[in-house]
Amino acid sequence: MSTVAAISTPDGVGGISVIRISGSEAIAIAANVFRGKISPEQMESHTCCYGKIIKDGKIIDDGVLTVFREPNSYTGENVAEISCHGGRFVTRQALRAVIQAGAEPAGAGEFTKRAFLNGKMSLTQAEAVMDVISAQGEQALNSAANIREGKLFRKVKEVSDGIVKLAASLDAWVDYPEEDLPEAEPEQLMFHVEHFVGSLEKLLEGYDKGRILRQGIDTVILGKTNVGKSTLMNCLVGYDRSIVTDVKGTTRDIVEESVRLGGLTLRLSDTAGLRETSDPVEKLGIDLARKKAENAQLIIAVLDGSQELDGQDRELLELIRGRKAVIAVNKSDLPVKPDIQKLREFSPYVAVISAKNDGGLEQLEKAVEEMFLDENFDPGADCYINERQKFCVEKSLTALKETLEGIRGGITPDCTAVSLEQAVGPLLDLTGERVSDTVVAQIFSDFCVGK
Amino acid sequence: MGLMGETGETLENYDVVVVGAGHAGVEAALACARLGVRTALFTISLDVIANMPCNPSIGGTAKGHLVREIDALGGEMGKAADRTFLQSRVLNRGKGPAVHSLRVQADRVRYHDYMKRAVESEKNLDLRQGEVTEVLADGKTVCGVRTRLGAEFSAKAVIIATGTYLKGRIHVGGNSYESGPDNVMPAGKLSESLAALGVELRRFKTGTPARVHRRSIDFSKLEEQHGDSSIIPFSFDQSGEKLENKVICYVAYTNSETHRVIRENIGRSAMYGGQIHGVGPRYCPSIEDKIMRFADKPRHQLFIEPMGLDTDEMYLQGMSTSLPEDVQIEFLRTIEGLENVEIMRSAYAIEYDCCDPTQLLPTLEFKEIKGLFGAGQFNGTSGYEEAAAQGLIAGINAAAAVKGGKPLVLDRASSYIGTLIDDLVTKGCTDPYRMMTSRSEYRLLLRQDNADMRLTPTGHEIGLISEERYQRFLAKKAAIEAELARIRKVSVSPGEEMASYLKSVGTEPITVGCKLWQLLKRPQTSYRGLGFADPERPELSDDVAEQVELTIKYEGYIDIQLRQVEAMRKLEKKLLPPDVDYSLIRGLRLEAAEKLNKIKPLNVGQASRISGVNPADVSVLLVWLGRKGG
């Protein structure tokens, strides 16, 4: 494999940037661009050295070189890491120097791919690295780290081992008819299979929670016109994202933004105010808002607290009944008119806020956390699975449910054994214990540059 | 090179020499001779051809499948068993068609007689008594054999099928002596010759229970076990001869007293006492093994089976042991019905030399020694059926090598034979390898009932299935397809007769009309049973009806398996060059590179099944192949 290099810290962020070089020539290439007290070729593994970074014979920066020798490195190959002084320009110059010296630019996810190929990490660990890189917020980072430590791996393995064991007991009974082995009772088989189904379904629940952590909560702000939806959005975002005017119907399309609220990320959509209108463009916007609301994970229903509820407000409240929603009673700087107790019939979460003055936002935060970070939601203890993993778990679940159906219908044990094996396969795909020729490609196409 | 006998005379020139006339050697020699190459079959004694020194039985789980596959390819074992069996049963009847397993109790002497006659009457085949002590080679190419008497025979291919004879050593308690099975002379010198050629040898062991006298058994205390009333033969090539059970077998049980005797004397077992260095079969444990390893099991089953019609010897299936004779008699007499039992032949363990099968290609030829083939227990397996299957394949491929024809490699999805050989040459074995249905990932496809559908065309193409038999096969196939096409169109409606049938087999009634095949899919119904609702149905033989029923009933599961086969064959199609040095491929772990260099897999599929090659290594191979543009 060739020697590759990339900037492995976020582009232009932070005081220090790191250029990672990996491959058999990594250290020789580093020696070409880095002059320190000791020649990089002489450096022992896991040592670092201060020195100058050279490009075209000129010093472009000073920094620190760290050397890892194979196989004891992240990728399992020789690795050299040059830390330089951040800044987009300097860092790019340094990378260019490294490439001039013979390294190839690393492809997406290349370092992690090499680590996986060199047996340095399992498939689930490799995927978790990707999630760490793109993790939003502390909660997600914890959960991603758990997967990398092998937590998901262990949980899935528990189930797949269980299925293998059950299939093996069936096989033994079939293969040794003369050994007086206990008969495989359908009830008992079903009991075990149901247990596996339960475990996998729990993992699937983790998918939704995991998505919330990784990608944020799909949130839509709804309300009739001019109750302060855009003001609330701007207040959450921290700057004017939506155009705020006194003219009703200013927001016609959907404005989207990710914001942090407590430990969670909300993917906010501000929408057109709900009202009867003859303006075809505004009507389109309102339809879009309703549609958005149907698929959202969270609705923030904004009411104007200075006004009595009218028909449109009631319509909105009916819309959120039974959904995950916070009723934000805005304009708390003015006397609050609606009956808060009555509002709770539509959603238990009511926050009285003043979007204009950033007032009452903590109530909103508390409501959202209560809704999404329930008692069982412990990012330290649970693992949250991603899209590919979910696909594998679902495939396995389908096979297990077919197994159950088969046993109930009186199918013969040879078929039960086959459908059990059918359930194990996808789990082995998930953990990377079995490789089909497509799975590797599929995973690595998802990786972002760098690590 | 001059080929000289001891007296200076030139002895015979052969195409193929087969060493050993057990179950592997006989199939190998018959296949070679029938494929038209001049063949010699050497045996230490003409009186032990196709001997059954252990259980006088053919078939059983997965082994029955092997016998039917051997038959479909044109081998002899199934026919021999059909002609000489004493009792026939299908095991696992309630567990589904994939694992139905035909097993017969065979007459040991008559089976031997049948096979000896089959070998003798084959033109192109010379049967010779003599111990082969040396394989002659010109560099790394085999050119003949030398016998103990100094005679040389030329050969373009040599098949080693030495069973448990090679440096055989029998152990009974603390006693041991050099011997082949059943106290026949062992083979000694050949080991050194093979080692000198570069064959890696190892020690395995196996064991057999005591044979006891019929008159010393109290049958009134034992459960009887009868054969099936309707007998299914092994061979698809039926002469129409009436098949019937001739004997009854018996079931007995060990008890806590038996276990006590064994436990108290465990130190005197050759295996536990440390006299035996060979590795024994995990899947066919001795009684002391069963008792020590499964201490909480209150009893073990044993079967008491006649050895033949012309003898009073009885075989005690399940009681294999290497305990001394006095302990053997003591523990056997604790068993109800055996209180006064008399032993005629004592149980013993036997150690022998065999090869590491990962040195073999899937054709069963040694990778490094041209023209040298291995088959049977010599390749590390246990069991007559496993041996015969390999013998047949080694014979077919030796003949192909001599004639310059295409080798035969069966893949895992085609047969248990293919699975067996792939396991052997890819994974190797650390203890005697026994075939089991669970070793096949495609067992709903590899049923014993469809072995002919799967393999007869191959047998015909090779030249071991006659044109006449092939035409009969094609007719059967056409009948199955026609009936499948017809039955898909048949509709049925609810009614009194339908309701009472469905109720009688224990399944839900129908309320609206449906297709007949939909009803046939229910596990409880049968093709014959639904005959009343299908008046247009043609007259069909049982085996055609069976295929129709199973094809429809298991369609969904069969489809699943077919998809798995497709996925497997995708990796199987990614060929690996035979001359690649895996240590030069970057990213492969050292262990994987070593294993790959040793096994030299033909394709990525085979590579992925090597133990020590993990999925990450397989992805490295795929990446490497992709870069090569392969």
Interface contact flag, A114 B587, Cβ < 8 Å: yes
Residue whose token pair is 């020649």: A39
Instruction: Please check whether residue A223 is in contact with residue A229, taking contact to mean a CB–CB distance below 8 angstroms.
Output: yes
Which strands form B348-355's sheet, in the order they lie side by side?
Answer: B175-178, B169-172, B348-355, B201-208
Nearest CB to A414; choose among B95, B604, B614: B95
Residues of chain A contacting B317 with CB distance shorter than 8 Å: 178
Q: Find where tokens 């077992």 sit.
A: B269
CA distance B581 to chain A (A): 16
CATH of the domain at B622: 1.10.150.570
Cα–Cα distance measured from residue B187 to residue B180, given in angstroms and rounded to the nearest whole number: 7
Look at B444 and A114 and tell me if their CB atoms are within 8 Å: no
Structure tokens at A6: 């990339």
CATH class held by domain A151-211+386-444 = mainly alpha
Surface of A (137-176) touching B: CB under 8 A? 168, 171-176
B431 band by pLDDT with thresholds 50, 70 and 90: confident
Indicate whether A444 pLDDT > 50.
no
Strand partners, A67: A47, A80
Q: What is the mean pLDDT of residues B309-313?
A: 97
- Segment B86-117, tens digit of pLDDT: 999 999 888 888 899 999 999 999 999 999 99
B335: domain CATH number? 2.40.30.260
Strand pairing class (B175-178; B169-172): antiparallel
Chain segment B537-567, per-residue pLDDT in tens? 999 999 999 999 999 999 988 998 898 898 8
Identify the weakest region by mean pLDDT among A234-238, A432-436, B554-558.
A432-436
Which of A104, A113, A117, A124 should one mutate to test binding to chain B, selecting the residue with the greatest count of B CBs within 10 A? A117
Scan residues 16-55 of A and list those with Cβ closer than 8 Å to B.
24
- The pLDDT score that the predictor gives to residue A324 is 85
Q: Out of 3.30.70.2740, 3.40.50.2000, 3.40.50.300, 3.40.640.10, which CATH number does the structure's domain A216-372 have?
A: 3.40.50.300
Domain end marker among B560, B581, B600: B560
Task: Measure B516 CA to nearest chain A CA, in Å.
Answer: 18
Find how far residue B110's CA is from the centre of its chain: 20
Within a domain: B613: yes
8 Å CB contact of A117 and B443 = no
B218 shares its domain with B319: yes
Mean pLDDT for all residues in chain B: 92
For chain A, say whether B443 makes contact (Cβ under 8 Å): yes
Between the CA of residue B566 and those of B61, B137, B448, what are the distances in Å? 26, 42, 21
Could you give the CA distance from residue B343 to residue B208 in angstroms, rounded to a whole number? 13
**Chain B: closest CA distance from residue A174 (Å):** 7
* Tokens linked to B219: 């049958």
A172 torsion bin: left (phi>0), alpha (psi -120 to 50), beta (else): alpha
DSSP A328-388: EEE-TTS---S-HHHHTTT-S-EEE-BGGGTBTHHHHHHHHHHHHS-TT--TTT-----HH
Q: What is the mean pLDDT of residues A257-281?
A: 71
pLDDT given for residue A164 in this prediction: 84
**What pLDDT shows up at residue A88?**
61
User: Does position A132 have pLDDT exceeding 60, yes or no?
Assistant: no
> pLDDT (tens digit, 9 = 90+) per residue, B47-66?
999 999 999 999 999 999 99
Which residues sit opposite B381 in a β-bridge?
B433
Asked whether residue B33 is assigned to any structural domain, the reply reads no
Residues of B in contact with A414 (CB under 8 A): 95-99, 437, 443-444
User: How far lies B309's CA from each of B24, B113, B229, in Å?
Assistant: 25, 13, 20
- The pTM assigned to this predicted structure is 0.76
Instruction: Give how far B125 is from chain A: nearest CA, Å.
Output: 37
Contact at 8 Å (CB) between B245 and B226? yes
CATH code 3.40.50.300 region(s) in chain A:
216-372
Tokens at residue A168, please?
């093996």
Between the two ends of chain B, the Cα-to-Cα distance in Å is 44
Cα–Cα distance list, B10 to A410, B5, B7, B153 (Å): 69, 6, 9, 8
Q: What is the largest CA-CA distance in chain B?
A: 89
Beta bridge partners of B166: B187
- Tell me whether residues B437 and A168 touch, CB distance under 8 A: no
Q: Report DSSP letters for A87-140, one per residue.
A: THHHHHHHHHHHHHTTPEEP-TTHHHHHHHHTTSS-HHHHHHHHHHHH--HHHH
How far is residue A64's CA from residue A37's CA, in Å, rounded to a whole number?
A: 11
> Within this chain, do residues B490 and B619 fall inside the same structural domain, yes or no?
no
SS3 of chain A: helix, strand, coil, percent, to 5: 45, 20, 35
Cβ separation B622–A440 shorter than 8 A = yes
Of A119, A175, A434, the CB nearest to B436: A175
Higher pLDDT, B100 or A144: B100
d(CA A381, CA A388): 21
What was the pLDDT predicted at A149? 54
Q: Is A114 on the interface with B (CB under 8 A)?
A: yes
Q: Do B61 and A422 touch (CB under 8 A)?
A: no
Amino acid (1-letter code) at residue A66: T
Angle at B63 between CA B57 and CA B68, to 5 degrees: 100
Structure token digits, residue B552? 């429809």
Alpha carbon of residue A371 to chain centroid: 19
Q: Which residue has the higher pLDDT, A282 or B561?
A: B561
Q: How much is the pLDDT for A213?
A: 65
Confidence at residue A239, expressed as pLDDT on a 0 to 100 scale: 45
Q: At what angle do helices A413-431 and A387-409 cross, to 10 degrees?
A: 170
Confidence of residue A381 (pLDDT cuts 50, 70, 90): very low
- Considering only the beta carbons, identify the residue of A171, A419, A436 that sits closest to B438: A171
Q: How many domains does chain B have?
A: 3
**pLDDT exceeds 60 at position A252:** no
Task: Kindly report which listed range (A102-111, A193-202, B570-579) carries the lowest average pLDDT score.
Answer: A102-111
A410 touches chain B (CB under 8 A): yes
| Residue B397 domain-assigned (yes or no) | no
- Cβ-defined contact of A117 to B561 (cutoff 8 Å): no
Residue A131 has a pLDDT of 58
Cβ distance B523 to A422 less than 8 Å, yes or no, reads no
Domain limits, CATH 1.20.120.430, in chain A: 151-211+386-444
- B187: its two tokens: 């083979």
Give a yes or no: residue B20 inside a domain: no
Instruction: Report CB contact under 8 Å: A177, B101.
Output: yes
Location of structure tokens 């505004």: A282
Return the pLDDT at B7: 53
The answer to whether A1 faces chain B, any CB pair under 8 Å, is: yes
Are B571 and A114 an interchain contact pair (Cβ–Cβ within 8 Å)? no
Rama region for A87: left / alpha / beta (φ>0; ψ in -120 to 50; rest):
left
Same domain, B223 and B314: yes
**Closest approach of B418 to chain A, Cα-based (Å):** 19
Task: Examine the domain organization and report whether B518 and B604 are in the same domain.
Answer: no
Residue entry with tokens 């896991």: A46
Subunit contact B96:A116, Cβ cutoff 8 A: no
Instruction: Give yes or no: residues B217 and B345 share one domain.
Output: yes
Q: Do A171 and B616 touch (CB under 8 A)?
A: no
Structural domain includes residue B115: no
Q: Which of A259-273, A303-317, A376-390 has the lowest mean pLDDT?
A: A376-390
> Per-residue DSSP letters for B263-275?
HHTGGGSTTTTT-
Instruction: Based on the fold, state whether residues B479 and B536 are members of the same structural domain.
Output: yes
B297 versus A237: the higher-pLDDT residue is B297
* Lowest mean per-residue pLDDT among A169-173, B192-196, B381-385, B404-408: A169-173
Choose the closest CB to A415 out of B62, B96, B623. B96
Give the C-alpha separation, A34 to A446, whole Å.
32
Q: Which of A180-184, A197-201, B327-331 has the lowest mean pLDDT?
A: A180-184
| B581, B556: one domain | no
Answer whether residue B217 is part of any domain: yes
Q: Outline which parts of chain A fall under CATH 3.30.1360.120.
A: 4-106
CA angle, residues B422, B425, B431, in degrees to nearest 5: 100
**Residue pLDDT, tens place only, A390-408:** 778 888 999 999 999 999 9
Q: B120 in a domain, yes or no?
A: no
Is B97 an interface residue toward A (CB < 8 Å)? Answer: yes
Which residues in chain A are closer than 8 Å to B554, comparing Cβ atoms?
415
Phi, psi (deg, nearest 5) at residue A215: -110, -10
Contact yes or no for A418 and B561 at CB 8 A: yes
| Mean pLDDT calculated for residue range B195-209 | 95
Which structural domain range is residue B624 located in?
A: 573-628
Q: Cα(B111)–Cα(B307) distance, rounded to whole angstroms?
A: 11
Give the CATH number for residue B483. 1.10.10.1800
Residue type, B168: G
A110-117 and A123-134 helices, crossing angle to 10°: 160
For chains A and B, CB pairs below 8 A equal 116
Indicate whether B509 belongs to any domain: yes
Question: CB–CB of B398/B16 below 8 Å?
Answer: yes
Kindly state whether residues B554 and B607 are assigned to the same domain. no
* Residue A101 CB burial class (10 angstroms; 0-12, 13-18, ≥19): buried
Distances (CA, A) of B284 to A406, B88, B433, B434: 32, 22, 10, 8
Q: CA nearest B572 in A: which residue?
A: A437
- In whole angstroms, give the CA distance from residue A142 to residue A148: 10
Chain B hits for A1, Cβ within 8 Å: 586-587
What's chain A's average pLDDT?
Answer: 77
- Does residue A341 surpass a pLDDT of 80? yes
Domain A4-106: give its CATH code. 3.30.1360.120
Structure token digits, residue A222 = 């709804």
Same domain, B553 and B599: no
CA angle B463, B466, B467 (to 5 degrees): 105
Region of B74 please: left (phi>0), alpha (psi -120 to 50) or beta.
left
